[in-house]
Homo-oligomer: A and B are copies of this chain.
Amino acid sequence: MERKALVENIRRKGSFLCVGLDPDIKKLPECVLRKENPILAFNKAIIDATAKYTVAYKPNLAFYESMGLEGWIALEETVKYLKANYPDQFIIADAKRGDIGNTSQMYARCFFEQMDVDAVTVAPYMGEDSVTPFLGYNGKWVILLALTSNKGSHDFQFITDNDGKRLFEHVIETSSKWASPEEIMYVVGATQGKMFEDIRKVAPDNFLLVPGVGAQGGSLEEVARYGMTEECGLLVNSSRGIIYASNGEDFDVAAGREAEKLRNQMAELLKAKHII
């Protein structure tokens, strides 16, 4: 999906919500576990209930791989279901891949040719030739880890060089030379609060994928205050807060309700910024 289409979807729906499709078999509602393919059944129900309020879905690969073949099939079927029924949704394979050039190329083929998703999350540690093989696919995106939402983000991402530049700033500045804001986004955790100001100094125009609202404790208002651009420039992800909103028969209705709440907050923030 081109950037222009993504921005239009955000305006039309009054939402920059991304729903994380991270189904853990140990947490699925009883009523779903009785189905033939519980993961797929769960995902379809969540998607049907939330699609009206969202512009993106983000399956995290770990949750599918951990179930072996069955999980891999469920992932492929979920992507197919999204593409067939909700073609305006931006699909992110949250894979955090990154390897030497010829190997990253295999991953790029996997996600952009076989699975045909819109974006893949990529880890920056191995540098340019681990990232660039994901570029150059029309309308496809790299979403590079910059400043993550977890506690461990403080272990290495804040390491500072002699000029006072931190690792995450190096990652953004250097990778901005490899790819335009039409094909690269950055992961910046909602838990980083005011750090969004610093991020916007080095990535003024890039979309940011923002995990960490909800279960991880990040604030949507703060993210919007410091991170929103004139084209919004944000995709805020919520996983557990939406998909496990209820554990009963009404799990999908509850998910829809939580997604709607977030969408309503987002619409206010978009209005305040005169984007809608």
Instruction: State which size class the interface on A falls in.
Output: 35 or more
Q: A residues near B, CB below 8 A? A: 22, 24, 60, 62-63, 65-69, 72-73, 76, 94, 96-101, 103-104, 106-107, 109-110, 114-115, 123-131, 145, 148-157, 159-162, 167, 170-171, 174, 211, 216
Closest CB of chain B to A170's CB: distance in Å? Answer: 6
Q: Which residues of B contact A103 (CB under 8 A)?
A: 22, 60, 62-63
- Is B126 a contact partner of A153 (Cβ separation < 8 A)? yes
Q: Assess A126 versus B150: contact at CB under 8 Å? Given A68-B76, A76-B68, A155-B174.
A: yes
What are 6 pairs between A and B in contact, CB < 8 Å? Answer: A62-B104, A66-B106, A96-B126, A126-B153, A155-B174, A156-B167
**Docked pose: A45 CA to B125 CA in angstroms:** 34
Q: Which residues of B contact A126 (CB under 8 A)?
A: 96, 123, 145, 148, 150, 152-153
Sorted nearest first, the 4 A-B pairs with minimum C-beta distance are A127-B152, A127-B155, A62-B106, A66-B106
**Docked pose: A98 CA to B61 CA in angstroms:** 11
Q: Which residues of B contact A149 (CB under 8 A)?
A: 100
Q: Which residues of B contact A129 (CB under 8 A)?
A: 150-152
Q: Taking CB as reference atom, which chain B residue is nearest A145?
A: B125
- Is A124 a contact partner of B127 (Cβ separation < 8 A)? no
Q: Which residues of B contact A167 (CB under 8 A)?
A: 156, 159, 167
Identify which of A67, A99, A148 gathers the most chain B CB atoms within 10 Å of its CB: A99
